[in-house]
Amino acid sequence: MTAIDQIQLNFNPATLALINWMLAIVMFGVALDLRVADFRRVLVAPRAPLIGLGCQFLIMPAVATGLVVLLQPPPSMALGIILVSACPGGNVSNFLTSFAKGSAAVSVTMSAISTMAAIVMTPLNFTLWGQINPFTRELVRSIAITPLDIVSTVFTILVLPTVVGMFVVARWPGFAARLLKPMQVFSLLVLAAFVAGALHANFDYFLDYVGQAFWIVLVVNACGLLLGYWLARGGRVSSQDARAVSFETGIQNSGFGLVLVFQYFAGLGGMAIVVAWWGVWHLISGTALAAWWSRRSVKTSPAPA
């Protein structure tokens, strides 16, 4: 193990409890833009959402694991990459998809389903790929955590607020519509403050090791964005839908990932730095890609065979 693998970053229990509540409120705000019809849409037009969910929960963790074996970062950083790749899509993916002239319907549908699926897929993927990777296997075994621990957090922070938010939309649609925009702005500010706070509290460590995190995060994130798009196009969906799949694959819920790191991994240095830097970098890469796509025409016809 290297020095970064033995560092535990500072995050006190009271702050962590506050962050759990704030992230739950963020997910409630995201759910104000979800409808039951978003789930039904998969039955009507399943191709793009199913390809996207396959990219998100099957391809992305496998590719991330392969890349950390190839690039060989410190074990705790490798475990951070595996964790963030196992998280559901980030709540800014819907905004980026709209900005990029992608299919907002596909993006929202995938966000809704991936949040629910995360209760099984996040702990399953993290445990599976963490154990398969020879560089992280011993580290995973040394940490006293079971998949059920992660399940409880996924349910409390992601699934329950989403269900409550969708109930509010169904029961009081006018109130939900008025609340939507303020909650979206609040969500972005909370996530930015969360990541900034995690970095500020441990800024010396961050400066020492962000160079190592930078390249591994850049490569894995780029692979997620590119694979999401081209696998969707290869699956004969429109460019508009493929843009949505790209963002849902490459934009991860890093705020949720940080909660897991501090709650169950004692702020393990390499994990925390990688997940926090992902939260910064995927906004930079996602915004740049969305801006580039926004200036280009959208092909609504399926890709050729």
What is the count of structural domains for the chain?
A: 1
Comparing CA positions, the residue from 147, 153, 264, 199 lying closest to residue 9 is 199
In a domain, 54, yes or no: yes
- Of 38-47, 50-59, 166-175, 219-228, minimum mean pLDDT range: 38-47
Using an 8 Å Cβ cutoff, are 76 and 269 in contact?
A: yes
In a domain, 248, yes or no: yes
In a domain, 8, yes or no: no
In a domain, 78, yes or no: yes
Arithmetic mean of pLDDT over the chain? 81
Please indicate whether residue 282 or residue 8 has the higher confidence score (pLDDT): 282
Average pLDDT score over residue span 299-305: 51
Average pLDDT score over residue span 206-218: 80
In a domain, 302, yes or no: no
Please indicate whether residue 92 or residue 56 has the higher confidence score (pLDDT): 56
pLDDT tens for each residue of 229-269: 999 999 988 898 999 999 999 998 887 888 888 777 776 77
In a domain, 142, yes or no: yes
Is 80 exceeded by the pLDDT of residue 8? no
The boundaries of the domain holding residue 265 are: 13-294
Q: Which phi and psi (to 5°) does residue 130 adopt?
A: -65, -35
pLDDT of residue 297: 72
- Of 19-33, 233-247, 290-304, minimum mean pLDDT range: 290-304
In a domain, 1, yes or no: no
What DSSP character marks residue 301? Answer: S
Q: Any idea what the CATH number is for the domain that residue 239 is in?
A: 1.20.1530.20
Percent of the chain with pLDDT over 90: 21
Average pLDDT score over residue span 183-193: 73
pLDDT of residue 304: 47
Range list of H helices, the chain: 13-31, 36-44, 47-54, 60-71, 75-86, 93-99, 104-132, 137-142, 147-154, 160-171, 173-201, 203-234, 239-250, 254-264, 269-294
Average pLDDT score over residue span 48-62: 91
Average pLDDT score over residue span 205-232: 87
Comparing CA positions, the residue from 153, 46, 29 lying closest to residue 110 is 46
Which tokens belong to 197?
């706070």
Q: Of 17-26, 72-81, 84-93, where does the model show the most confidence?
A: 72-81
In a domain, 4, yes or no: no
List, in order, residues 6 or more apart from 18 with CB less than 8 Å away: none
Which tokens belong to 208?
């020492």
pLDDT band at 199 (very low <50, low <70, confident <90, very high): low
pLDDT band at 28 (very low <50, low <70, confident <90, very high): confident
**What pTM was estimated for this model as a whole?**
0.81
Using an 8 Å Cβ cutoff, are 13 and 246 in contact?
A: no
Is 60 exceeded by the pLDDT of residue 300? no
Is 60 exceeded by the pLDDT of residue 79? yes
pLDDT of residue 144: 59
For residue 92, which amino acid is it?
V
